[in-house]
Structure 1
């Protein structure tokens, strides 16, 4: 698989920032996502936190998933629209996390998962029938089913506060990727109309009943 220069730069930025954070705790604490400092004006954390990770496994998993899905987007939309999708999904994840956890000043998170979730969703819209695995199912499932399941699971995870996982960032990133894909590549309405509708239903439900996730 050929590595596009934009993809290389994004992966390197994640690797360099994360490794710096592993060895420099003050750097990690200064740039991680944390509600209190962000409310006090440190907005850079909403961006910088997406390039930090808790450990090598967290970093490798996010970069591997990005490496798998990014080329499809880059090959179809080009570099500028890919960057819009990546950064837009990143900020969508941070914004939903900020909104959902706004009263939890000590809530913190790191990782590229929100941005990566947006890229996954853009890829699903481009290729709805791609085969993907969803734990704990032992067999691959079509991309559009994975997408619906992922959205619903993220909503459930937010409601139940499952594990040490930033479900709000994942959900926000996925929604960002979905919305931005429709904006920057409107041809998708004709190419994957049914998938656009199916993935849009959980998002509409979230907008209507989102306050009940607390």
Structure 2
């Protein structure tokens, strides 16, 4: 797959690989930052809201980052060219956040509604009593898999009949069946393993679910629409009335400065006020043309006469 015309996909792969390498080096040096950037359960003391994004760029092993970025390499450029760079990046991060929220919900249901962990002060692990809060901090989720499963879903919806080989199946499958198969596998495996294994199966499904929701939203309201005034994230030509960032900017914008007048000398104040109200003289169109030439071709492109007019008439 050519990444030359898919800058977001290319940069996502580079960033994820570099971050994984950096964390590997730091781990070998005894520097562990997982408690800061990995996704924690919301009830844990180490949970931070920014982890909904940072966890997407962390991976637990070489194979983890390799297969995730391989999927981005295969499917990312296709969807990036379909949507455009800005919309594709939003979709990628949005699916990752959706996967994180799904994982949070599943963990809450399992540990608090089924296991009733909130009724205990400690958890026994290998005959060692660990405080519940410390135990919750051990539950960390990392990886871009939720983003990747969202991309897979989008590919299956936009190119459902594309033929693909999926190891170890010896014959090609249509993309829509491949996506359905992955979803079914994650659901069955997740239900069987609950949240006890080391794979966040429901986070994968959450990435697909949130990807499905935003695609259906775009189909209903328009390809470049978002609720809550967030449209500028995917639409650079967003009208001002639908731009929440413009509204926030206006809230903090200073009031228009008024003319400051001193009334000790009334005649002096009137003269100064009249002078301020006079319109600025219009600049010579010929000077504007010369300035445009400087911007486009540089100062050395001017003739001697043009240089003279520029300095004498500006």
TM-score w.r.t. length of structure 1: 0.78
Alignment of 1:122-161 (within 5 A): 122-134=154-166, 136-161=168-193
CA drift of 1:5 comes to 1.9
Q: Does 1:15 align with 2:21?
A: no
Aligned to 2:82: 76
Q: Distance between the aligned counterparts of 2:209 and 2:44, measured in 1?
A: 22
Could you tell me which of 67, 77, 92 is aligned with 1:61? Answer: 67
The verdict on how the C-alpha distance between 1:64 and 1:187 changes in structure 2, with shifts beyond 3 A counting, is farther
Matches for 1:178-193 after TM superposition, within 5 Å: 178-185=212-219
- Stretches of structure 1 that go unaligned for 5 or more consecutive residues are 189-214
Equivalent residue runs for 1:1-214 within 5 Å: 1-3=2-4, 4-25=6-27, 26-35=32-41, 41-102=47-108, 103=111, 105=136, 106-134=138-166, 136-161=168-193, 163-185=197-219
Residues 35-93 of structure 1: CA deviation (Å, up to 9, x unaligned):
16756641222211111111222111111110110111111111121012101100010
CA distance, structure 2, for counterparts of residue 79 and residue 6 of structure 1: 6
Partners of 2:67 and 2:205 lie apart in 1 by: 18
Aligned residues: 188
Report SS of the residue matched to 2:33.
helix
CA 1:41–1:58 in 2, change beyond 3 Å: closer, same or farther?
Answer: closer
| CA separation of 1:78 and 1:96: change in aligned 2, threshold 3 A | same
1:93–1:171 CA contact under 8 A, matched in 2: yes
- The Cα offsets for residues 90-144 of structure 1, whole Å up to 9 and x where unpaired, read as 0010010010012372422211110011011111111001233445533321111
Q: Would the aligned equivalents of 1:17 and 1:51 in 2 still touch at CA under 8 Å?
A: yes
Question: Are residues 165 and 126 of structure 1, via their aligned partners in 2, closer, same or farther at CA, if it must alter by over 3 Å?
Answer: same
| Higher mean displacement: 83-92 or 103-112 | 103-112
Distance 1:158 1:5, change over 3 A: same
Separation in 1 of the partners of 2:41 and 2:183?
23
RMSD: 2.4
2:3–2:10: 8 Å Cα contact kept in structure 1?
Answer: no
Query: Which of 1 and 2 has greater Rg?
Result: 2
- Cα distance change, pair 6–185 in 1 and its aligned pair in 2 (3 A): farther
